[in-house]
Amino acid sequence: MSRIGKAPIALPDGVTAAIDGQTVTVKGKKGELEATLVDDVTVAQGDEGVTITPRDESQRARAMWGMSRSIVANMVEGVTEGFQKSLEINGVGYRAQVQGKDLKMQLGFSHEVVFPIPEGIDIKTPKPTEIEVSGIDKQRVGQVAANIRGFRPPEPYKGKGVKYVDEYIFRKEGKKK
């Protein structure tokens, strides 16, 4: 049995959930999110919040149970607090800045890397070597942060590139004579 799936999702004050078949819509002070869950689970709203149960005892239904509960719980957390990922840029001359609806980065290439900021995502650069990606959808925030990191992932010799703030770079020793 799924330990994650068993727990009901409590709805804090100011958050409402609407269930229409397999579609769950959550509204809060930061915005509105909608997700369509798989057919292997059923969604219900009760006194303690939103509960998710598997339709049958198949392996797939039990696997989707915890995942579906996590998706709805992340939607509730997103519309109340939001999500944030912080990136750090290391390297001589490497920097980033937000200009209008674009994130412009110098990452050691012969050209400037221009990343258009997607709708619903907020990107800030408090310092030229720091990037903060925030939004209400956990999956989109993580994907945008991964896309930015993908332009120049950190290399193992000097650690140059774009990395997450809490990421550890395994360093290698250079070649020997």
| Residue ranges of domains in the chain | 3-80, 83-164
DSSP code of 9?
A: B
The count of other CB atoms within 10 Å of the CB of residue 130 is 15
**Token code pair at residue 85:** 């990922």
Give the pLDDT of the chain (177 residues) as one tens digit per residue.
668 888 899 999 999 999 999 999 999 999 999 999 999 999 999 888 899 999 998 999 988 999 999 999 999 999 999 999 999 999 999 999 999 999 999 999 999 999 999 999 999 999 999 999 999 999 999 999 999 999 999 999 999 999 999 999 999 998 887
Q: What is the spatial order of strands in the sheet that 130-135 belongs to? A: 121-124, 130-135, 83-90, 161-164
- Report the C-alpha gap between 140 and 118 in whole angstroms: 9
Query: In CATH, which superfamily holds the domain spanning 83-164?
Result: Ribosomal protein L6 (3.90.930.12)
Do 107 and 151 meet the contact criterion of CB atoms below 8 Å apart?
Answer: yes
Alpha-carbon distances, residue 6 vs 1, 16, 48, 142 (angstroms): 8, 21, 12, 26
- Please state whether the predicted TM-score (pTM) of the whole model is above 0.85: yes
pLDDT (0 to 100) of residue 2: 65
Cβ atoms of 90 and 129 closer than 8 Å: yes
Give dist(CA 112, CA 93) in Å, integer.
12
**For residues 36-65, b (16+ Cβ closer than 10 Å) or e, as one string?**
ebeebbbbebeeebbbbebeeeeeebbebb
Q: Which CATH superfamily is domain 3-80 in?
A: Ribosomal protein L6 (3.90.930.12)
